[in-house]
Structure 1
Amino acid sequence: MRTLCSSTLIGEALLILFAGLVAMQLSDVPAGTIWAVSGVAMALCVLLCGMIERPGAVAIGWVLQIGLIASGLVLPTMYGLGAVFAALWWCSVHYGRKIDAIKAARAAEAVQAA
């Protein structure tokens, strides 16, 4: 799960960076506000990559997805992009857990075979 979720979060951090650049040009929100919010969101994405296996990390990821969709209030394109990344986050968590279960089963089989 760590690899899939981390990949999604890094992609999301890049999306937030580029969305901040666009929002600076197309919205009436002050640049300082845009970068304060974007900077916190990008830092949270990167920090969450290292904490993804801790309790509550997936829930924080979901809050981040909601925030990304809500950023559509400033930049309407983000409604769609936020929904895409929310779907990617769901897939990363869902299939990542399945992959972890398969790996654990194979490791248990290897221990029994030895």
Structure 2
Amino acid sequence: MSSEVMGTALMIGGIVAVFAILASAYKRRLAFKERKLELDAGLGTEAANRRDADLAARHGLLEQRLRVLERIITEAGDSRDVALQIEALRAEPKPTPILESAR
């Protein structure tokens, strides 16, 4: 009977030891992930600020172009003059797409 109790105690002790080892490894893994997220968050802020600045610049350019178009349409003039002014706008350099500037 005592050998059965001893075997059971040894088995329970082994299970507890394996569980302790796995818990320690999991704790280290969580600490690593947390540190990685902290570093990524720091880098993400810089990239977000750069993207926001790009968006603000693009917004200003688009607003300026819209004002020019509004002025062209609201001014009195013949349709040929309006067409020439619109063609002149098409010749201006276009802003780069947002997705390409973020890369």
Structure 2 length-normalised TM:
0.36
Q: Which has the higher contact order (CA 8 A, sep 6+)?
A: 1
Structure 1 length-normalised TM:
0.33
Larger Rg: 2
